[in-house]
Amino acid sequence: MRKVIVVDDEPAGRQLITEYLKDYPELVLLCEANNGVDAVKMINEFKPDLVFLDIQMPGMTGFDVLTHLNELPQIIFSTAYDQYALKAFEVHAVDYLLKPYTRERFKKAVNRLQENTTENKARPLTESLLMDTPKYPERILVQSQNKLVTILLEEVIRIEAYGDYSKLVTKHKTYLSNYGISILEEKLDPTVFIRVHRSAIINLNRVKELNKYTKSYDVSMINGDVVRVSRGYMENIKKLMY
According to DSSP, the residues that pair with 141 across neighbouring strands are 150
What is the value of pTM for the model shown? 0.50
Of 133, 139, 143, 142, the C-alpha closest to 154 is 139
pLDDT per residue of the chain (242 residues) written in tens, 0 to 9: 899 999 999 999 999 999 999 999 999 999 999 999 999 999 999 999 999 999 988 878 998 898 888 888 899 999 888 777 767 766 778 888 988 899 999 998 998 885 443 344 434 343 444 444 456 777 777 877 767 677 888 999 999 999 989 999 999 999 988 889 998 898 889 999 999 999 999 999 999 999 888 778 899 999 999 999 998 898 888 888 77
Neighbours of 25 (CB within 10 A): 8
Domains identified in the chain and CATH numbers: 2-132 (3.40.50.2300), 139-238 (2.40.50.1020)
Across 36-125, where does the E strand assignment appear? Answer: 50-53, 74-79, 95-98
